[in-house]
Amino acid sequence: MRDLGHPPVWTGKDGKPMSIAFYLVAALTVGGGLAAVMLKNTVHCALALTVAFAGLALLFLQLDAQFAGFAQILIYIGAVAILVVFAILLTRSQEAPRGGVFSKSWLTGLAIAAAVFAVLGWAVLQTANLLPRVSEAPVVTVQQIGTALMGRYVLPLEIVALLLTAALIGAVIVAMHEKEGAQ
């Protein structure tokens, strides 16, 4: 039997049990995610995914990670969700696919998903046992994030910037190619 002298994993920062707010937000996120795969209308799926993103942002905010939470809203809801709905609209795939929403080999899919979940859960539980008895979450200010990005992680930052520029130029070229093709 493992030594459970430290607080079990489902307690919050102060060792108290997770608040009801957490359960509500978690239910919202999971519900959004489920709706995103089970609804028939594709645009409804995209909007349910947005609800899931919002739930994730609320979870970040609960953990006092303000920057991560607001960046999640700004980027995922403000840009990625809009991109997804634009893509759905412009390709006109609003009707449900002919053969139904669920695939034929759903049993195999279920087995694989259960296996992945088991692996992830085992990894989380293992790390939780190894963490020191810290009852407070670290306070990370935006200034610390900025200093880290400009100091220690400047190379990944620049590479990501290059990647984004390449994506932008690629999008412009693809759009311009259409113009050449039409003429």
Partner 1 sequence: MIENADQIFVLLQAWLLSFLPAAWRPAAGVVLDVVAIICVFPALFALTTVLERKGLGRIQNRIGPNRVGPLGILQPVADGIKSLTKEDIVPLRADAVLHFLAPLVLVVAVFMSFAVLPMGRNMVLVDMDAGLLFFFAMGASTELSVFMAGWSSRNKYSLLGAMRAVAQMISYEVVLLMSSVSVVMISGSLRLTRIVEEQNQYSGIFPHWYIFTPWGLAGFLMYVVAATAETNRSPFDLPEGESELVAGYFTEYSGFKFALFFLGEYLGMFAISGLGTTLFLGGWSAPFSFLGWVPSWIWFFGKLMLSMCVFIWMRGTLPRLRQDQLMNFAWKFVLPMTLVNLMVTALWRFLGEGWEQWVFCTAILVAVYVLMGRAEMRSEHFGPRRYRYAE
Nearer to partner 1, 7 or 36 (CB): 36
Residues near partner 1, by CB under 8 A:
41, 43-44, 47, 50, 66-67, 70-71, 73-74, 77-79, 81-82, 85-86, 89, 141-143, 179, 182-183
Shortest separation between residue 2's beta carbon and partner 1, angstroms = 38
In whole angstroms, the minimum distance from the beta carbon of 124 to partner 1 comes to 28
Q: Which is nearer to partner 1, 6 or 44 (CB)?
A: 44
One DSSP character per residue, the chain reads -----SPPTTB-TTSSBPPHHHHHHHHHHHHHHHHHHH-SSHHHHHHHHHHHHHHHHHHHHHTT-HHHHHHHIIIIIIIIHHHHHHHHHHHT--SPPTT-SS-TTHHHHHHHHHHHHHHHHHHHHHHHHHS----S-----HHHHHHHHHTTTHHHHHHHHHHHHHHHHHHHHHHHHHHHHH-
Nearer to partner 1, 74 or 113 (CB): 74
User: Rounded to the nearest whole angstrom, what is the least distance from the CB of residue 166 to partner 1 in the complex?
Assistant: 18
